């Protein structure tokens, strides 16, 4: 069952989601919710989906960057973004415990800000502690695009959207991103839009 993705302006997207107990994580109803969130993420398609995006104020996100999503992306762009496939997994009560000092900037979009994109600066590497689907503690270290996805989804659980972090002069429709900026380097985009002068 595909879930409705709520859009910017919905109060749930601006609230801090509540943590889930181990018992709640292990409930059969949670398996159903995870299946619906995974289906919704894939159908949209997206690389991550947080519970607040489907109207639920709980600390849960699902992530998957499928190989097929990378098929039309040039090897140079994949290398620049440090992007490679990420197998599906769910995170409950995730916390970013370390951020790298090094930051990188790329265009981001969001299923809850449909049709738009902007440059967002994020840490290149992060370490995240979370509970898995059996409520077991886990830690993951990620870099590049995977680190960006984690930061984006965990922001959702803390009531933040990428538009809170974006370089405002780069805010664009997805059509115009494809028309004007998609194949340009970040330095070219910043120069053309007179950013950082």
Q: Write the DSSP symbol of residue 109.
A: E
Residue 135 near residue 158 (C-beta atoms within 8 A) = no
Parallel, antiparallel, or unpaired for β 48-50 and 116-123?
unpaired
Look up residue 43 and give its two tokens: 């159908």
Enzyme catalytic residues: 153
Q: Give the C-alpha distances (Å, rounded to integers) separating 183 from 109, 116, 148, 186.
A: 16, 17, 20, 9
User: Both tokens of residue 61?
Assistant: 């996100």
* DSSP symbols for 164-185: GTB-GGG-EEHHHIIIIITTS-
- DSSP-derived secondary structure letter, 6: P
My answer on whether omega of the bond before 45 falls inside 30° of 0, hence cis, is yes
Q: Distance between CA 184 and CA 168 in Å, rounded?
A: 18
Spatial separation of the C-alpha atoms in residues 6 and 156, rounded to whole Å: 12
């Amino acid at each position: 069952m595909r879930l409705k993705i709520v859009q910017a302006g919905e109060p749930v997207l601006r609230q801090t989601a509540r943590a889930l107990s181990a018992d709640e994580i292990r409930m059969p109803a949670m398996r159903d919710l995870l299946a619906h969130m995974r289906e919704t993420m894939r159908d949209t398609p997206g690389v991550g989906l947080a519970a607040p995006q489907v109207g639920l104020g709980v600390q849960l996100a699902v992530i998957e960057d499928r190989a097929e999503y990378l098929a039309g992306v040039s090897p140079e762009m994949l290398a620049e973004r440090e992007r490679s496939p990420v197998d599906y997994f769910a995170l409950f009560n995730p916390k970013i415990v370390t951020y790298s000092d090094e930051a990188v900037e790329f265009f981001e979009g969001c299923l809850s800000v449909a049709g738009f994109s902007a440059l967002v600066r994020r840490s290149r590497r992060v370490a995240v502690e979370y509970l898995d689907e059996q409520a077991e503690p886990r830690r993951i270290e990620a870099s590049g695009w995977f680190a960006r996805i984690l930061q984006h989804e965990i922001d959702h659980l803390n009531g933040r959207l990428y538009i809170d972090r974006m370089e405002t002069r780069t805010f664009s429709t997805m059509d115009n991103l494809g028309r004007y900026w998609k194949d340009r380097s970040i330095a070219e985009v910043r120069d053309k839009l007179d950013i950082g002068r």
